[in-house]
Chain A
Amino acid sequence: MNVKRLLGLFNDFDQATAAIRELREANLPYLNWDDVTIKSPIEHPDVEAVLGPRPIPIRKWTLVGALLGGSLGFLGIATAQGNFFSQLKGGKPIIPLPPDLVLTYEMLILGGVYITVLGFLVSAGLPHKSKGDLYSAHVSEDQIGVMVKSNAHCIAEVRRIFERHGVLTMQEEEVSTR
């Protein structure tokens, strides 16, 4: 099947939102809704809402990172104190809880932040090879891009919808289906 990708650039969020709404209402066959992407210079939750619910798994990464950071931090420090960093304590506990809690607190935050950043990169698909994907420098300036991937027939219809909503320019490319 001849799969294509079309990127339409709009002047503002209102036009882009209207175009996406009409795309949705058109209920085009062969258009997988997950293949509709917005590219914009700023974040805009209202426009993203038109696309429907999409997963944001970051918080799970954060929870795992904080729990791992805290628990492994405590275990690591306690193990070090009990073994290769053991000191003569004069009757005081070898693994002192109050100082270890301070260090665990720091490790919890460290783990939380690091794994959140890792989760962000994975969830956002970064690093991303920009070559081979439709993009315009206007997106980072002041225009809103709506990108659709589908078969050639569907793309022709999408093109007409974009034109009805005042698209400024359009870029199209064949997608390798190998």
Chain B
Amino acid sequence: MSSVTEGKEKDIREDIAWAQINRDVLRSLDRPRATYWALFAFAFGLFVIGVACEAYQYDRGLGVSGMNNPDVWGLYIATFIFWIGMSHSGTLLSAILHIIHADWRKPIYRFAEAMTTFSLMTAGLFVAVHLGRVWEIYYAIPYPNERWTWPNFQSPLLWDAMAIFTYLSSSILFLYVGAIPDFAICRDNATGWRKNFYTALSLGWMGTDRQWRNFRIAYLVIACFLIPLAVSVHSIVASDFAMSQQPGWHITSFPPYFVAGALYSGCAAIITLFIMLRHTFRFEEYMTLPILDKTGRLTFAIAMVWTYLNLVEYASVWYGADEVAKETLLMRMNGPYAPYWWAMNFLGSIVPLTLMSKRIRSNLSAMMVISLLLNLGMWLERWMIVTPTFSHGYYPWTWDHTFFPSWVQWGIVLGSFGWFGMLFMLFCKLVPSVSMYEVKEMVFHRKIARLHTREA
């Protein structure tokens, strides 16, 4: 995994033949390494564990999760926020980098956008799972009925539903529209059922100037919409907490804190998936170390923003007049959740400091471990937001400092990772995870720029 060749890291070759790009990427749909099947089997195993735990909870009731009053959200909502956060970076970064013409996004944006879509689909599961009685989920659907169980439009939970639906559907459209030219390439090279599949998805794309002209503007416009949308989604998720009166949650800086945390975990996940796909699909030519280096630097910058906002959150509570909120903060530091709270701070704020080293940013094994640790830290962050506050609210008679999630909750959380992994791996087998036409554009424009530089 040595990253340095003659003192200079290899980037995508400008003279790579376009036909070669097609061949390399299309090969990933046919013959991945055996690692692909190992990862798929692992994800499927986790998924089975999750389904078994959910079936058990379905059969016995929500009590088996260990949740009680006041600990009513447990790992389910903490993991819901984690997955919503994970969804952030894919589409948001893709859109921002597209608008600012950062061409290094081109080989990695497709799988990052897919990550957004599948993270949102995974997050949505927890809304149903945490209700316990999933067969009565229709109670939550807003339609005129005789029970008066109507939506409360002042509740951020309803805004959440609207924002997540908008983000999910818009992200799917962004992903799909951006992939149409690649579906046409797949159509032109496929046989059998895949030919019909890609013919339907490509909508008869022929690469005409009319199609490209409109494609360019449509893609840009959707990217422009997605940036404020993505920020609003996690701000609204933060409002679920910040607009309540619970100690430790009623903080003005929660929305930017959540957005930064979401970007942070999403960037770390992009690094994990980058390394995984690079190896599994033999994408060494396209998912290059300079791109990993840039993603690492971006993750470091966002980690520092998150660290700052985290400290602002503590300062707001510490210097605020809310004694109960301060007590809750102290309880996080010293109480039964202290190991997790300190681990969260260590993993979230100290571990990313290693990303300052270029040597580490160029080391695939180190980056894989660091990205997993960062996401563990960000998952702990969400858990440390939800559970300690419920365990130590305003009323001492509701305190429950002994709350710890049961194995059923842990199983369902693991299952969500399996579900996400399975969907993601299936996607990578059916849809080119590197955008072929955008990589062609990238090498073409770099070549032109180099020629101009030479002439000058």
Q: Which residues of A contact B (CB under 8 A)?
A: 37-45, 47-48, 51, 54, 56, 58-59, 62, 77, 80-81, 84-85, 87, 96, 99-100, 102-103, 105-107, 109-110, 112-114, 116-117, 119-121, 123-130, 133, 135, 137, 139-142, 145, 147
Distance A166 CA – B162 CA, assembled complex (angstroms)? 56
Q: Does B170 contact A110, Cβ atoms closer than 8 Å?
A: yes
Q: Does B204 contact A113, Cβ atoms closer than 8 Å?
A: no
Q: Does A128 contact B18, Cβ atoms closer than 8 Å?
A: no
Distance A147 CA – B208 CA, assembled complex (angstroms)? 9
Q: Which of B187, B204, B216 is the most central at the interface, judged by chain A CB atoms within 10 Å of its CB?
A: B204
Which residue of the partner chain A has the closest CB to B213? A56
Distance A140 CA – B205 CA, assembled complex (angstroms)? 10
Would you list 11 pairs from A and B whose C-beta atoms are within 8 A, ordered by A residue? A39-B208, A58-B217, A84-B144, A85-B150, A102-B232, A106-B166, A116-B221, A119-B218, A120-B215, A120-B218, A140-B185
Q: Beyond A41-B437, A120-B218, is A126–B204 a contact (Cβ under 8 Å)? A: yes
Q: Using Cβ atoms and an 8 Å threshold, which residues of chain B touch A121?
A: 203
Distance A167 CA – B402 CA, assembled complex (angstroms)? 78
Q: Using Cβ atoms and an 8 Å threshold, which residues of chain A touch B199?
A: 130
Q: Does B159 contact A99, Cβ atoms closer than 8 Å?
A: yes
Q: Does B209 contact A113, Cβ atoms closer than 8 Å?
A: no
Distance A105 CA – B154 CA, assembled complex (angstroms)? 15
Q: Which residues of B contact A (CB under 8 A)?
A: 17-19, 22, 142, 144, 148, 150-154, 158-159, 162-163, 165-166, 169-170, 173-174, 177, 180-181, 184-185, 187-189, 199, 203-218, 221-222, 225-226, 228-229, 232, 236, 437, 440-441, 444
Distance A106 CA – B437 CA, assembled complex (angstroms)? 32
Q: Does B207 contact A81, Cβ atoms closer than 8 Å?
A: no
Q: Does A58 contact B218, Cβ atoms closer than 8 Å?
A: yes
Q: Does B206 contact A141, Cβ atoms closer than 8 Å?
A: no
The 8 closest A-B pairs by CB, nearest first: A128-B204, A120-B218, A142-B18, A137-B188, A43-B212, A127-B203, A124-B214, A84-B144
In-complex Cβ contact of B22 among A58, A107, A141 (8 A) = A141
Distance A44 CA – B215 CA, assembled complex (angstroms)? 12
Q: Which of A117, A121, A140, A147 is the most central at the interface, judged by chain B CB atoms within 10 Å of its CB?
A: A140
Distance A59 CA – B232 CA, assembled complex (angstroms)? 23
Which residue of the partner chain B has the closest CB to A62? B221
In-complex Cβ contact of B209 among A37, A85, A116, A123 (8 A) = A37
Q: Does B221 contact A128, Cβ atoms closer than 8 Å?
A: no
Extra contacts, 10 of them, besides A123-B210, A124-B218 (Cβ < 8 A), are: A42-B440, A51-B209, A85-B142, A106-B229, A107-B162, A113-B173, A113-B226, A121-B203, A126-B204, A127-B204
Q: Using Cβ atoms and an 8 Å threshold, which residues of chain B touch A139?
A: 206-207
Q: Does B214 contact A56, Cβ atoms closer than 8 Å?
A: yes
Which residue of the partner chain A has the closest CB to B23? A141
Q: Which of A41, A85, A112, A133 is the most central at the interface, judged by chain B CB atoms within 10 Å of its CB?
A: A41
Q: Using Cβ atoms and an 8 Å threshold, which residues of chain A touch B154?
A: 96, 99
Q: Beyond A105-B232, A140-B185, A142-B17, is A85–B151 a contact (Cβ under 8 Å)? A: yes
Q: Does A109 contact B162, Cβ atoms closer than 8 Å?
A: no
Q: Does A58 contact B221, Cβ atoms closer than 8 Å?
A: yes
Distance A41 CA – B185 CA, assembled complex (angstroms)? 9
Distance A21 CA – B213 CA, assembled complex (angstroms)? 19
